[in-house]
């Protein structure tokens, strides 16, 4: 029986996952560490499966057309599916795998670390000690109260914060465990001292934090983004940080990555930036990559994936 041909779009796949994939499939990997879209398109024809590893490159109709009719399964080495034309995949009947829940702890830990560093001004030697705000007793807002948002809420319990607010389409029964209150986005902005962004990127959340949002926030508030860069209008964020509409921001993700060295955000003493490290622990990356391969193998066998996107 013919072994499936699988295209792995980039080299940044954990060795333990590649080993598992090579035991079962003929694997194609671009020669360049950072292949262009054109290079990936050249490798697509005739593959049975795609292991997609880039959240910055769009997996769309052009890619699917290039793969041709043999394509039977697609799997992402990440949780978010904003890089995929999910409607087109569904129309073609091609299952999509992703890695929900696995990165929750690592991303939440980084979020808490960013909160502390940003709030205390630890990377800014000129910080005025009198400008620091106490985390204890503060009101924390979480935009997106899914898996990562709830782990953030769990981690916050040790800080003796005053209250947790969250916004989303619906209230969640699980929020009672954290005494978290479901409110509108507008109320969350107005009342929160610390705001975490942990929602997915979609048409509703793209540039959700715009000039209007920043003007509605407390001037003493800090913003922590561990979701997707495009949820924040970066021009509006720069204006808010420079103009004192908010006190500070901590960013694990930005719109353009790698981050442009000449960005004005780098020049602002009240902005902390780390290079998208949310899932960057060996255990988390290994588990995500293995789950992605397991999803792909199930899809190639016409079986329901362990973590299939619905």
Q: Is 182 a catalytic residue?
A: no
DSSP string, the chain: -PPPEEEE-SS-S-HHHHHHHHHHSEEE--SSSS--HHHHHHH-TT-SEEEE--SSS-B-HHHHHHH-TT--EEEESSS--TTB-HHHHHHHT--EE---STTHHHHHHHHHHHHHHHHHTTT-TT--GGG---STT-EEEEE--SHHHHHHHHHHGGGT-SEEEEESSS--GGGGGGTEEE--HHHHHHH-SEEEE-PPPSTTTTT-B-HHHHHHS-TT-EEEE-S-GGGB-HHHHHHHHHHTSSSEEEES--SSSSPPTT-GGGG-TTEEE--S-TT-SHHHHHHHHHHHHHHHHHHHTT---TTB--
Per annotation, catalytic residue among 11, 98, 182, 276: 276
Which residues are known to be catalytic? 276
């Amino acid at each position: 029986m013919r072994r499936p041909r699988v295209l792995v779009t980039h080299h940044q796949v954990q060795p333990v996952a590649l080993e598992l994939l090579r035991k079962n499939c003929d694997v194609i990997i671009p020669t360049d560490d950072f292949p262009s879209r054109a290079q990936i398109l050249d490798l697509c024809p005739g593959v049975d499966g795609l292991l997609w590893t880039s959240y910055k490159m769009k997996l769309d109709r052009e890619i699917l057309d290039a793969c041709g009719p043999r394509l039977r399964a697609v799997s992402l080495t990440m949780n978010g599916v904003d890089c995929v034309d999910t409607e087109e995949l569904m129309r073609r009947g091609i299952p999509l795998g992703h890695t929900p829940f696995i990165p929750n702890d690592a991303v939440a830990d980084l979020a808490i670390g960013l909160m502390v560093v940003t709030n205390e001004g630890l990377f800014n030697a000129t910080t005025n000690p009198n400008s620091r705000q106490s985390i204890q007793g503060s009101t924390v807002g979480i935009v997106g109260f899914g898996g990562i948002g709830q782990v953030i809420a769990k981690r916050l319990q040790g800080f003796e914060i005053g209250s947790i607010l969250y916004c989303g389409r619906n209230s969640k029964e699980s929020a009672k465990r954290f005494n978290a209150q479901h409110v509108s986005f507008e109320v969350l902005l107005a009342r929160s001292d610390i705001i975490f962004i942990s929602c997915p990127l979609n048409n509703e959340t793209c540039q959700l934090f715009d000039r209007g949002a920043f003007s509605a926030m407390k001037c003493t508030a800090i913003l922590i983004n561990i979701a997707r860069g495009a949820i924040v209008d970066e021009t509006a964020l720069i204006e808010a940080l420079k103009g004192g509409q908010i006190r500070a921001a901590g960013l694990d993700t930005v719109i353009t990555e790698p981050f442009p060295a000449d960005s004005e955000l780098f020049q602002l003493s009240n902005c902390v930036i780390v290079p998208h490290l949310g899932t960057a622990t060996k255990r988390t990356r290994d588990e995500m990559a293995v789950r992605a391969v397991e999803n792909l193998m199930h899809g190639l066998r016409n079986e329901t994936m362990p973590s299939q996107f619905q």
